[in-house]
Amino acid sequence: MTYNPVKLAKTSVLAFLLVFSASAMAQDGTIYPLKAPAEPNAISLGTGGVEGQKAPETWFRQWGDPMARNISTATLTPFLPAPGKATGAAVIVAPGGGFRWLSMDNEGWEVAKALADKGIAAFVLKYRLHPTPESLDEFSASMNQPRPAPTASSNTSPGATPPSRPQQDLSNQLADAEAAYALIQKRAREWGVDMDRLGMIGFSAGAGLTMHATLNSKTMKLAFIGPIYGGMGPVEVPKNAPPMFNAIASDDFLFRGQFGVVESWYKAGIPVEFHLYQNGGHGFGLGNPDRTSNRWFDAFMHWLDVNKFLKAQPKK
């Protein structure tokens, strides 16, 4: 094989520019338009649309990650373990985004793939959102508005809802979560899911939805929950609430030195594990470089193992 040094140099420069551009795009937080990716395995949940939603579903990229907004059709995407690797355990994964967009890769697909690699069937819930401006520029401007200052009573807001805003109506999102649970239950044998070991984890607003479903659903019987960097305010814990794994970083704007939800679980006598990491900020997904929060997924897997969620248990 012969090499053309001029062509090789041009190729190297082009590769450098592409990498540099991608890196700059990933680091500056600017919102870029993105063509909707193919979702061949997404299954419509048939829960209806969104009242007042005029703009179509669109995608954008921020911090290098694909995001979806104006979602009016909820879907569930299965990520199943390789044959012979499945444990029977399963998890519904709820991405975050303040109920105005969804971080589909960082807090959805990447997490689901990591779970499937551990033998856990994962199902990414793309739930309906509150409407946002159709124009990407207007949407970007609305995202850049200053966050209201926290108030003493604000910690009851679910997920990443800005503290001083009124409680959001999550009836659509709850219906989507319940439909996802029902679909998994219907196809449990096909997907190799043990319904006694089906849990739900969520990130930011997805953590809020996970908690909202735990506190309010009449049809979901989750085996465990994992709210990751969600709201930390106290809640009224149902008698049949599942064990909880909770993780957040101390430099997360949602933490604010509060342990309410953890204390609520502890006082209710229900198993709870809590990880307060030194750093990691908000929205770290599976992890950011050089942050102590990077090991939360390992801790979560160990917690599942110790609590016997990764192996079928004899029926009582």
CATH number at residue 196: 3.40.50.1820
Give tens-digit pLDDT for 54-113: 999 999 999 889 999 999 999 999 999 998 999 999 999 999 999 999 999 999 999 999
Please state the domain count of the chain.
1
Structure tokens at 289: 């470089």
Provide the residue range defining the domain that includes 224.
Answer: 10-137+156-306
How confident is the model at residue 313, as a pLDDT?
Answer: 82
Distance from C-alpha of 269 to C-alpha of 253, rounded to nearest angstrom: 28
For the chain, 316 residues long, the average pLDDT of each consecutive 10-residue run is 35 32 51 95 97 94 94 98 95 97 97 98 98 90 58 35 58 98 98 98 98 98 98 96 98 96 98 97 91 96 98 79
Q: Could you tell me if 88 and 192 are in contact, meaning their C-beta atoms sit under 8 angstroms apart?
A: yes
In a domain, 314, yes or no: no
316 inside domain: no
4-29 as b/e: b if 16+ CB within 10 A = eeeeeeeeeeeeeeeeeeeeeeeeee
Q: Is 312 within the bounds of a domain? A: no
State the DSSP string of 77-96. Answer: EEEPPPTTT--S-EEEEE--
Query: Is 175 domain-assigned?
Result: yes
Rounded Cα distance between 190 and 186, Å, is 9
CA distance 144 to 140: 6
**pLDDT at res. 71:** 98
Q: Is the separation of the CB atoms in 173 and 217 below 8 Å?
A: no
What are the two backbone dihedrals, phi and then psi, of residue 82, each rounded to the nearest 5 degrees?
Answer: -65, 150
Name the nearest CA neighbour of 158 among 95, 218, 219, 235. 235
Task: Look at the block and give the residue holding tokens 């101390």.
Answer: 250
Prediction pTM value: 0.86
Residue 123 falls inside a structural domain: yes
Looking only at the bridges linking them, the beta strands covering 244-249 and 43-44 are unpaired
Per-residue pLDDT at 292: 94
Give all strands of the β-sheet with 58-62 in edge-to-edge order: 32-34, 58-62, 65-69, 101-103
